[in-house]
Structures are given as C-alpha cells and as structure tokens.
A and B are shown apart, each in its own frame.
Chain A
C-alpha cells in the first residue's frame, strides 16, 4: 500500500468508526479516572513541551490532523489530508492548503475558524515567548486564512514532508479570542488562560491544580453529538510508576495509568490480579549506548575535553578503532537485556531508526546474537592483549571505560549487566549515574550533561516525534557536533563526522518521493550501525494500563495516548 492510500483508508476507517457508535449518549458513562504519575504543570503545551502537558491538553485542544495508532495521519479538524494528488499541496511543495471541517465550535460556543490556526502560528513564533513547540513551525514563511474554513501555509523552501505545523498533539490550535493578549513575553502571565484553555476537543477543564489534579467535564459543544461517553474526567498526577500501575491493576481505584516503565516481573504479577490490562505500542524510541569519538580525558581541560577537532587530533584513544566498538557491541546480549528490563514492553533492536516500517532496515539484525569469542578475537586483532588482572592493555593504556547514564533502576541494571559482559572480554568499566535533571539539562556550566559527554560511553533513549525521520537522521551531521563554541548545543552527541553521511542527509532534505526517502534513511541508518557509532539496545514501547471496565483504548505511541479519548467508554 502506498502511504497515500494508507492515509486515505485510515480516514475512511475513522469516519466509519464514528458512525457505529451513534446509538450511545454523551456523558452516559459517568466518571473516568486517569492517573499520570508525573503531574501536568500547565494545560498550554506551547509553554511546556513535556509529554505530560501535551497529553493532558490533548483532551481539550486539537490539531488539524493527528497520528493514529498505526502511525497514519488522520484528519481531525480538517476535512481531509491535503496531498499533491488532491491538490492540497502545491506541485512545487512550497505550500499546503487545509480545508477545515464546517460547523466546529469552541467549547465557549463560538465558531472555530482558520483565523485561530493563523493566530496559533503567530503565538508560537512571537519573539520572547519561549514557545516550546516552535520547531514545528520551522520553515513556515506565512499562514493565511483564505476564507474562514481554508488555511494556506506557505513554506520558505520546498518541504517534502509538509505535515508538521498544526499536526500532532504537540502543535494544537488555541483560540485567538482567548489568547490574543497573551503573545510573546506576556504569555507566562496569562495563568487563567494557560490553565483553562478553550478548545474544540471532547473535554473542558473545570478545575486545574498545577502538578496535582485536573477535573474536566464533557464539552457541550463537541462536534460529535454522542461523544464523549464520559461526563467527567479526574486526571490525577504524582507518585511513581509502580504505584500508578498498582492503582489500576491491583486496587482498581483508577481506570487508566500512563507510562509504566517497571520491571516486567512486577508488572506481570500486578496484571495477574485481573483488574486491568497492559497495553503497549511501539513507535521510534530506542534505548542506545552512544560512543564518544572524542577524547574525554579530564586532564585535557575545558577547551579540548570531548571537543571535536577537524584534524582528528582529539580522537578517542580507544574507541576511535572500529574493532573495539564492534567488540563492545558483540559482547552484549540484547534479548537478555530486554527480558530483564522490559519484557513485553520492549524488543531487542539493531537499528537506531526502528520505524515506521518503511524505514526499518533489516541489514543489521545479526547484532541480536551475543558472540563473546568473536569480540575477544577482534580485540586481540586490534592489539589489546589481556593483562595480568584480566583487563586488556595496549601500549601501556588499560582498556578502561567510563559508562554514564541517568538515574533509573532499569538503566542501572543494564549498566551492571553490560559491565559484566564487557569484563568477560577484558574491558574494565567504571559506572556512573547522574540525576536526570542534571544529565538531560543543558546547563553549559555542568560537566554532567549528556551533551558534554565527559565519559567514554553513555546510555539513554531518544526518538523523534511524528513519522518523518529526516530531522532525526540529520542529528549525526558534522555541523551538529556540540562544543564550547556553540555552548554545547548540538544534536550530534557522538561527535561522529563522516562526509558520506552528510551527503546522504543533504540528499534526503531535497528528495520528495517517499520510497526514495525511505531508501536514504535506511542507508543512513545502516551507515551508523555498521560504523558502530551507537549501539542500539531496546526498541521501547509506550506502555500503559487500563481497567477491564474501560473499553475503546487504542494505545498510540506516535501521538498523544489520549488521542481517541472521545471514543473511550465503559465495557458492558
């Protein structure tokens, strides 16, 4: 099936779904209790880009189109998905025209128009606003309301994948009337608006208590008369993942719990109580080990430590040798790691780009098999000879690595296990774990951020939002290497630099045909994998639990998990 056909089929399926549920009544199923163990701090996803805020607000405000549980784009506030074929996207790929659904009303009863969409763009791109989602509007030269139900977006240059602005839960449309006086620097002062946005979605905020609890009720003006099926929603936050799972699976106090990264045997036991079910969905999250291509030696000083130099003078003394990198990968038993830390909620993976399916390469699957002997042979070949204490030595240097990650019990188990495997092949490992608020913080003064990479290898999960991997694969371009000159901003954390890779990335940015883009993305993925730039470990799913009395949940990791909350209902 071509992607276009998939999109069309999906939109038809969506229309069919609305038809079948017609006999039910709005609000007939009473209260829905949802628990997110991280509590949302605002209902305005433009002010805080955290997943919890985006998902909570997705019950209230909606984008033009969003991703369904298979990763297809489905229209929400738009009538259909604009494509080159139906004339919605201009032939030169520089503009896209959305037709909006007629008769859609905001929860205050006023009409939803293209003006609101234009306003949203202006709101998020206003200077000094600090809009967290401004990357979705990148490349947008202009937006105009051709008429109340037609929105035309013009791009500064041809955009092969035009579905970023106002698509997906991260860039929903807010009401112009409500936010008009909250532009730019004024944005944070509009507490009332930020906590109680007026939306077109199935629910309306009744009371918002930051970082604690949100109470919502059915939107009386929702465009489908029989939805949502629940009259009220209690959206509680706080605690930890295990206790959130317990409140759904064991005590039955809540109907839905989000993001349950817990040891698989604990989850399985809780599920055994029979009060709820686990649901998971895979998108693009991959837990990986990154290799540092530059020298992180503390003796080097701030201008050279982990800083990339064009002449190769600052290359990593051990890891610059591909044989060492390959040996490190060979020593890892990925399926066992998965059993230990993820179980059903993850799968062992050999690609950094695991999906959508058309982009997933099969060239690297050999990594699933651990091969200690081959790893040892590679290290022997590279000149690392076992020393008296079992640790390999070459030219007086010990094969010793510093392995850092954020603090998280599964990650610490992984660290211990990998340390043991690496010890078997004669690699000594020092482990370090760093509080997530420091590790993922971008403070240029801190030595412990993942960008600074003051370690030999580090482990974390990354992904990309939506279904288009172009920007994600551009992460490993030479010009994205972080360093002191850029305040350590930059997405090429590995400091990997390969002109061939850059060429592929450039080519992808100007290629429109989906099949060609897929080939390019796969080639880039394979290049990264076969150069052992990073060692992918686990393809992680989004995992949640819902009560057996709750029906209609379609787990989605491409978009907000609550994307179809209007269809949720009590199981009869």
Chain B
C-alpha cells in the first residue's frame, strides 16, 4: 500500500504540471480582459499601457514559466522564510505571484480568506455528512417507510432548488421579516467571549444551512442507494444466518461495504470546500475563496485564477489518492500493486 501511495504521488507530479499548463493555456485563450471592468472613460491607449504593465506583452510561454517559477520556487521559499526567520538568497527582489486586480501576493489573499471559507463551507460539509449518512442508512433499511419518503422528498428539494434561491428565501424570512439573523457575514468579527461567539453562530447559521442542505441531499441519496444494493447481498443473509445481531449486520457489514461509492462522493467534495461555495458566499457576503475565484474570473485576473485552480487541482489529486487508499481499507479484496 505504501509503495502504491508513493508511486501515485510520483505520477502526480507530471500530471499536475500538465494540468497547470492546460489551465494556463485555457485562461490565456479565454477572451476576457483585465481592463474590462474599468470605466469606459479610461481611453484605449491607457488600457493598452495597463495591459503591458501587467506583463501581457510577453509571449505566452514566457509568462507560463514565470508563473511556474514564482509559484513553485519563490512562494515556498517565502513561506519557509516566514516560518524560520532565515533569509535565503535575494529575498527582497524575489517576485511572488501577484494578483492583477489587487497587485498584492495571491497567497496572502488566500490566507486571508481561508478562515471564513473553512468555517462556513467546512462546517456545512461536516454537518452534511453527519446528517446524510444516518439518513441514508435508515432510509435504505426502512425502504419506502414514511421516514424514507419524507427524506427522499426533502433531499430532492435540496438538490433541485439552487442555492441562490434557498439563500435568498432564508434571508427574506429570517433577516427581513423576523429580523433574527444578519444577512451579511462580518469577516472582521473576532470571537472573544460568549456574546461574540453567539454572534458568530448566528451569522454562520444561514450560509451553513443552505450549503448543508444541498450537500446532504446528494450524499444521502448515494448512501441510500449503496445501502440498498448491499442489503440484498448474500453475505448479509449469511451473517444473519450465523446469528449475528441485526445491529452488527447493518452497521458493521453492510455499512462498511456500502461506504465505497460514498467515500468517493465525500472525498471529491473535500476539495470543493477549499474551493469555497461561489454562490452561497456571494449571497451572504462571506467573501471566502469562492468569491475570490469568481472575482478573479470576472476580472480576468489570470495569476489569481491560475494559482487558485492549481491549488484546487493539487487537492483533487491528493484526495482522490486518499479515496483510493480508503477503498483498500474498506474492502480488503481491492489490491493495489
């Protein structure tokens, strides 16, 4: 298993390089332009100068390798310096990946935004998994019972109604009509005491719930389907025939085998936590990674989008590997060699 993991990690390097090149080419080909958001009162000559100052005058390949150097060498060195306090080489003049719109280092922006994204999106994901797995198990075990029917109905609503609608509906009900919850997330809020903690919970409540509903709906459907498949397998009959208690049969034998497809769904979902929830973050003004990405895309901020999507790609590769390793643990028959 360890050898398998190591080999996969080694293959990941060329894979990621290829991905980074394709993303860069894609962003470069895309027709959006960094000066598009500027007012039309700024004349075309000035726009051209702005473009040149962003380095757009250089050929595509040069820009790609510059980014690669900045991201792969300069940024890690910078992180190392900050952690250890050492000075390695000419750190004053080392160019970091700079966003075009803000003209500030992209990694600083990401670090600034991670807390709210992890809190809101991460929390919603944890809640979603915690709700979805039991619901899926019970729904499958008591297929077509009232519980199952209601669960099915709610989860269908959950993924057929887009978050831009549920979010707005919650705001109208809880912020406008009832006035209980804030509609705008305060990213500068610091939790110091009980009251500020309560405020934090209040402002997280709506975005977390909107996302949790959408995620839980999907996961519970996969869980239910997978449980149903396994409940009718021969080994379940064997286990029951051996006189194992029903709890053990369901929770140990069936659940373990049913988790395989669900693990994929959950593992694939984890990178999206870091990717943020673009629409939900916009609606509640959580302004995390998702909002950073969409602003970058709208403003054709290539270094920002390139870096974000590349980090995203790394996470996807890593979590896919983790999912594969978990398959092996859940089902010893799956062998990697």
Contact = CB atoms under 8 A, between A and B. Distances in A.
Chains A, B in direct contact (C-beta < 8 Å): yes
Interface of A: 35, 39, 41-42, 44, 47-51, 128-135, 185, 187-189, 191, 194-195, 207, 209-213, 215, 234, 236-240, 243, 246-247, 250-251, 253-254, 273, 435-443, 445-449, 451, 460-465, 471, 482, 487, 489-491
B232 interface: no
B49 A130 contact: yes
B176 interface: yes
A128 B53 CA distance: 5
Nearest to A249: B176
A461 B45 CA distance: 20
Contacts of B187: 209, 212-213
10 contacts: A135-B42, A135-B43, A191-B108, A210-B109, A212-B291, A243-B183, A251-B183, A436-B298, A442-B51, A487-B48
Question: Which has the most chain B C-beta neighbours within 10 Å: A187, A442, A491?
Answer: A442
Interface in B175-196: 175-176, 179, 182-184, 186-188
Contacts of B38: 48-50, 132
B102 A465 contact: no
Contact of A213 (B48, B171, B287, B300): B287
Given A39-B295, A130-B51, 4 more contacts: A39-B287, A238-B281, A250-B175, A448-B31
A188 B104 CA distance: 7
Nearest to B44: A489
B292 interface: yes
Interface string B103-135: 111001100110000000000000000000000
Contacts of A194: 103-104
B298 A134 contact: no
Given A251-B175, A437-B32, A445-B31, A132 B48 contact: no
Given A253-B183, A254-B184, A441 B282 contact: no
A234 B104 contact: no
B280 to A, nearest CB: 11
Given A211-B102, A246-B183, A441-B31, A49 B39 contact: yes
B259 to A, nearest CB: 38
Contacts of A39: 287, 295
B45 A489 contact: yes
Interface residues of B, number: 59
A491 B104 CA distance: 31
A482 B43 CA distance: 12
Nearest to A437: B32
A443 B31 contact: yes
Contacts of A489: 44-45, 47-48
A51 to B, nearest CB: 6
B176 A246 contact: yes
A435 B298 CA distance: 9
Contacts of B109: 210-211
B37 A437 contact: yes
B326 interface: no
Contacts of B98: 188-189
Among A134, A448, A449, the most chain B Cβ lie within 10 Å of the Cβ of A134
A49 B101 CA distance: 10
Nearest to B296: A211
B46 interface: yes
B167 to A, nearest CB: 9
B36 A441 contact: yes
A507 B166 CA distance: 59
A446 B104 contact: no
B32 A438 contact: yes
Given A41-B101, A236-B285, A443-B33, A247 B298 contact: no
A38 to B, nearest CB: 8
Nearest to A51: B39
A243 B113 CA distance: 22
B39 A239 contact: no
A246 B101 CA distance: 28
B53 A437 contact: no
Nearest to B108: A191
A-B pairs, 3 with minimum CB distance: A130-B53, A441-B33, A446-B31
Contacts of A471: 43
B283 A243 contact: yes
- Looking at B38, B39, B287, the one whose CB has the most chain A CB atoms below 10 A away is B39
B33 A130 contact: no
Contacts of B298: 436-437
Nearest to A435: B32
Contacts of B108: 191
Contacts of A447: 31
B35 A213 contact: no
A42 B103 contact: yes
Contacts of A240: 282
A462 B41 CA distance: 8
Nearest to B40: A462
A465 B295 CA distance: 25
B282 A443 contact: no
Nearest to A191: B104
